[in-house]
Structures are given as structure tokens and as C-alpha cells.
Amino acid sequence: MINRVLSGITPSGSALHIGNYFGAVKPQVELQEKIDETFYFIADLHALTTVQDKGELEKNIVAVVLDYLSLGLDPEKSIFFRQSDVPEHSQLAVVLANFVSLGHMKRMHAFKDKLQKGEKPDSINMGLFNYPILMAADILLYKPDGVPVGEDQRQHIEITRDIAEKFNKVVKQEVLRLPEPVISKEVGKVVGTDGERKMSKSLGNVIGIFEDEEIIKKQIMSCFTDPNRKKVTDPGKVEGNPVFIYHDLINDDKGEVEDLKNRYRDGRVGDVEVKERLFEAHKRLFEPARKRRKKLEEDMELVKRVLAEGAEKAKKVARETLEEVYEAIGIKNSLSVK
């Protein structure tokens, strides 16, 4: 039985795209209805690995908070807060760093990806290298049963489990709970508009959510389809075709989707019509969130209040775990100031 889940969102500056939405935001928001306790936080300390300009950082944080609140995160149902408002995250990370080896850290993707991109190991910043330790602290503080994330985060949950296991073994107590990754099979990895790679801001193969309509239309119209189809009358392939993958995800009119698929297979519909229908479906799905976001932008006091209340609730849970950890490992002892 899963009773408590937790997940973090890095405000790294990339505007949300439908890959983020279907892979992360939507399942997270849906969990509010199914699970007793949901904890979601903005991982602003994690963002420092790439964002080191204060104005930009603030802008990114505000954007993510507005995105989530407008896409259905409900502060009445979830505890929503900012990582840095709960200093226990940093405090636990310092302890946990002693329960993972250098060799294990060197095998982490985030670090290896940078090396692959040509960066030298000596010039990678230690925040990036230590990223999985801070993430383990984020998770273990709240003792969640499940951590809903995209497929690319699986390795981080695994190292979190390893760190918790090692800590528990050393202190000979089950202080930390081993969390399970919660990764949706179908939408763990939404393909990009290039039809090849995972949809990702850095690859420029995204369909946005809150951008101006013209931009979203352009993104949809430039989407890769069936490369073997030269003319409208050629029979087309639906399976694995990104435009139809998106229709299945976005379009609430399932009858229309079936009709388009049948006509596509028979060579009775052009790419342009399929894409125009997709654009209309996108508008239907995201219009309410886009309106809510505009309203929230005008009410930053409300947004601040939500985060302050979230931090207060989160801190209660986090403090308790940190105390247990300090006690188990001997930092809390007869000399501790009360």
C-alpha cells in the first residue's frame, strides 16, 4: 500500500512541455486523489548546478510554482514547498554523503552525461557531482513509499535506496525507509517532435504548454510524421508516429482520433489536417490551465502564502527524521544543546 509520495521539480528554466506534463505533472497531480499524503517541492538548491544568476533563479522558481498550481496541484491536498525553506534537506545530505562511495557516484548518469559532452571530470562542479546525495536527502527525510518521476530519474531512486540501506545497516536500525520509484510505463518517456529522441527542452524537440498559441502551432506543424509517406494518398503508418502518439495523449475526442487513424492508414487524410486537429485538442486540454495561470500571475501574495504554509508542514516531518538520523549516528548525544 502506498500512503505517502514525494517528488521534486528542478526550476532549471526550461518552460514545461507536454513530455514533462504527461511524464511527471499529470501523474503527480492525479496522485493527490489517490494517496493520503503527497509532498511536492521546488528543488531550488538543485537548480544551482546550472542557474547561478539570482534574477534568473527567482524567475524560474516563480514560473514552476505558477505552472504547477495552474495545472492542478492543489495546496489543500498536497504539501507544496520550496526545498531551501526546509534546511533539513541540506543537513541530511551532509550526513548521507558518508554512506556512498566515490566509485558509485562516478557511475551516475548526470555526471557521465557531462563527461560525454566533452567536459573534463576536474571541471564539473561538485554540486552536480553531489546532486544524487542531495536528492537522496530530499526523499529520505519524508519516508515516502513512492517517488513519482520520469524514467530518467530511476537511477537516482536506486542510489537513494542504496544509501538508505547502507545507513540502516551501519546504525543497525531501520531509520530510513527505502522508497519505490513510481514510473508510468506508457508515458515515462514521451518522444520528441523529431520522432527519435525523448522530448527535451535542450534538444529543441518539444511541444509547449504555456507559450503563445503561434509558437505551439509552429511546434505542432513541424512535427515529424511517417517519413515513407510521400503523398496524401499513400497509406500511412500510425504506430510509433509521434503525431498519433500525441493525439492519444492529448485529444479527448477518441472518436476523432480513431477516424483520423483509419483515414491515415488508408491514405485519406493529410498530415496538415491531423496536425491541425492536434492543435485544437491541445487548446481544449490546456486552455483552462492557461487562464488560471494568467490569474495567478496577478496574485503573488497567494502564491507566497501557499509556499510558506507548505514549508511549515514539510518542516515538521523533515525535522523529525533528521533528529532520528542524528541520534542513530551519534551527532545528537549528551553534549547536544537542547
**Would you name the residues annotated as active-site residues?**
114, 198, 201
By rule CB under 6 A, what string of x and - marks binding of each residue 146-185 to ligand TRP? -x-x---x--x-----------------------------
Angle at 164 between CA 158 and CA 165, to 5 degrees: 90
Q: How far apart are CA 111 and CA 125, in angstroms?
A: 10
For ligand ADP, the closer of residues 211 and 320 by Cβ is 211
The answer to whether 241 contacts ligand TRP (rule: CB under 6 A) is no
Q: Distance from CA of residue 322 to its chain's centroid?
A: 25
For ligand ADP, the closer of residues 24 and 35 by Cβ is 24
For ligand ADP, the closer of residues 75 and 150 by Cβ is 150
Q: Give the three-state DSSP class for 201.
A: helix
Q: Are 69 and 36 contacting, i.e. CB atoms less than 8 angstroms apart?
A: no
Q: Please state, as a whole number, how many other Cβ atoms lie within 10 Å of the Cβ of residue 302.
A: 12
The answer to whether 20 contacts ligand ADP (rule: CB under 6 A) is yes
The answer to whether 75 contacts ligand ADP (rule: CB under 6 A) is no
The answer to whether 218 contacts ligand ADP (rule: CB under 6 A) is no
Q: Distance from CA of residue 199 to its chain's centroid?
A: 13
SS3 track for 137-160: HHHHCCCCCEEECCHHHHHHHHHH
Angle at 254 between CA 34 and CA 292, to 5 degrees: 55
By rule CB under 6 A, what string of x and - marks binding of each residue 30-69 to ligand TRP? -------------x--x-----------------------
Q: Are 140 and 157 contacting, i.e. CB atoms less than 8 angstroms apart?
A: no
Selected binder of ligand TRP within 63, 93, 139, 175 (CB under 6 A): 139
Listed ranges 4-12, 168-176, 222-230, 313-321: which one lies at the site for ligand TRP (CB under 6 A): 4-12
- Nearest CA to 138 out of 215, 98, 76, 85 is that of 85
Residue nearest to ligand TRP (CB): 8
181 bridge partner residues: 147
Selected binder of ligand ADP within 189, 247, 277, 293 (CB under 6 A): 189
Selected binder of ligand ADP within 201, 237, 292, 315 (CB under 6 A): 201
DSSP state of 21: I
Cβ 295 to ligand TRP, closest distance in Å?
27
78 bridge partner residues: 38
Q: Residue 187 corresponds to which cell in the numbers above? A: 508515458
The answer to whether 159 contacts ligand ADP (rule: CB under 6 A) is no
| Residues that bind ligand TRP in the complex, under the rule CB under 6 A | 6-8, 10, 43, 46, 135, 138-139, 147, 149, 153, 156
| Residues that bind ligand ADP in the complex, under the rule CB under 6 A | 10, 12, 14, 19-20, 23-24, 149-150, 152-153, 187-190, 198-202
